[in-house]
């Protein structure tokens, strides 16, 4: 995000203003298409750099108007000539708003990020039998919606069974035929499961699938669960995490351990070099929205922590 880039630039400016020379060079990275709002995949620049996917794959991505990444980069004069990933990295730090409410709720200035949650996305389709809501007795129904809502509740329950970082969300539901007086014959909904390790996410998924099988038998319906995306959990290097914590303590900022529930470029960079992240609070945990907001003093604090964490790694 803009804050992370500007914080990196401010760190370099501060070092230059004070005539500080580090043993290892400090550079600022501004990654292309981290958000994925126009082109997919997300975290495109860092993903190509880390060879998670090829440059050709990224170039070929199109937007809703059929325009390609390569074509648009050529149009604005941003096609580079450096081989992606052909650049040494000793360590990587990224500053970001939390995009969640935890720091604000705990009245802490700095989040010391230990890693990024693993994510599994599924589509679940429950198939029963459409029937008229009036003539069909309750005992003779194969209500896809009734069965689906039980599974949806277990998605949330699975997260509660695996605290503190378990997350379970159903964000999209499609009901067929979606008529007021017809018992639903088919329901399709999304399942989003997250946790701090892949083992925990997989355990949550296994529990939800087992419960879905039980529901299918009890209600006489069919349940099909298909994985559509999988993002592994990424722990950050302990020394980088500790460097962030030491910087916050040294500067007198209140701080607490944190995890990231969203993806960041640091996920791919952590596969190449020791990496860490710094969170600051954002109002009401809101991001990707026009009312996204962070206090100037928190923005400054995150930048100061970034400076000292980088100095510790780069050497002076």
| 203-255 confidence digits (pLDDT tens) | 999 999 999 999 999 999 999 999 998 888 999 999 999 999 999 999 999 99
- Could you tell me what percentage of the chain is helix, strand and coil, using 3-state DSSP and rounding each to the nearest 5? 40, 20, 40
Tokens of 231: 């993002």
> Average pLDDT, stretch 118-144?
97
Residue 316's pLDDT band (cuts 50, 70, 90): low
How confident is the model at residue 231, as a pLDDT? 86
Mean pLDDT of the chain: 96
pLDDT, tens digit, for every residue of 85-100? 999 999 999 999 999 9
Distance of alpha carbon 299 from alpha carbon 131, whole angstroms: 57
Are 56 and 264 in contact by the 8 Å Cβ rule? The answer is no
When pLDDT is cut at 50, 70 and 90, the band that residue 80 belongs to is confident
> In whole angstroms, how large is the CA radius of gyration of the chain?
23
Q: Contact, 158 vs 206, CB < 8 A?
A: no
Question: 160-180, pLDDT tens digit by residue?
Answer: 999 999 999 999 999 999 999
pLDDT in tens, 47-78: 999 999 999 999 999 999 999 999 999 999 99
pLDDT of residue 33: 92
Tell me how many degrees the CA angle 153-155-158 measures, rounded to the nearest 5: 110
Q: Is the pLDDT of residue 287 over 80?
A: yes
Task: Say if residues 66 and 77 touch (Cβ distance below 8 Å).
Answer: no
What domains are defined for the chain?
Answer: 2-6+22-116+233-314 (3.40.630.10), 118-231 (3.30.70.360)
Q: Which 8-state DSSP code applies to residue 68?
A: B
**Given a cut of 80, is residue 30 above it in pLDDT?**
yes
Q: What is the pTM of this model?
A: 0.87
Cα of 13 vs its chain's centroid, Å: 30
**Does the pLDDT value for residue 31 go beyond 70?**
yes
Q: Which residues contact 290 (CB under 8 A, 6 or more apart)?
A: none
Question: In terms of pLDDT, which residue wins out, 232 or 280?
Answer: 280
193 vs 186: CA distance, rounded Å = 22
């Amino acid at each position: 995000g803009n804050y992370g880039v500007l914080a990196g630039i401010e760190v370099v400016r501060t070092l230059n203003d004070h005539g500080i020379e580090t043993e290892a060079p400090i550079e600022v990275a501004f990654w292309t298409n981290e958000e994925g709002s126009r082109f997919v995949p997300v975290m495109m620049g860092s993903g190509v750099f880390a060879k998670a996917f090829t440059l050709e794959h990224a170039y070929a991505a199109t937007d809703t108007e059929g325009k390609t990444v390569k074509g648009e980069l050529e149009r604005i004069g941003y096609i580079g000539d450096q081989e992606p990933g052909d650049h040494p990295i000793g360590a990587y730090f990224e500053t970001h708003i939390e995009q969640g409410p935890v720091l604000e709720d705990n009245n802490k200035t700095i989040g010391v990020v230990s890693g990024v949650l693993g994510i599994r996305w599924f589509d679940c389709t429950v198939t029963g039998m459409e029937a008229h809501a009036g003539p069909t007795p309750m005992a003779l129904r194969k209500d896809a919606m009734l069965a689906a809502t039980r599974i949806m509740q277990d998605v949330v329950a699975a997260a509660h069974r695996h605290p503190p970082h378990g997350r379970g969300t159903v964000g999209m539901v499609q009901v067929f035929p979606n008529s007021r007086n017809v018992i639903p014959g088919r329901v399709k909904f999304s399942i989003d499961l997250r946790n701090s390790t892949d083992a925990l996410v997989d355990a949550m998924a296994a529990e939800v699938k087992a419960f879905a099988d039980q529901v299918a038998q009890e209600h006489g319906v069919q349940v099909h669960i298909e994985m559509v995306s999988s993002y592994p959990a990424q722990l950050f290097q302990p020394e980088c995490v500790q460097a962030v914590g030491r910087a916050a303590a040294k500067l007198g900022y209140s701080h607490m351990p944190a995890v990231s529930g969203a993806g960041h470029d640091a996920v791919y960079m952590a596969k190449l070099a020791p990496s860490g992240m710094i969170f600051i609070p954002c109002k009401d945990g809101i991001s990707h929205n026009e009312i996204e907001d962070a206090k100037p003093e928190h923005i400054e604090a995150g930048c100061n922590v970034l400076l000292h964490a980088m100095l510790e790694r780069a050497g002076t």
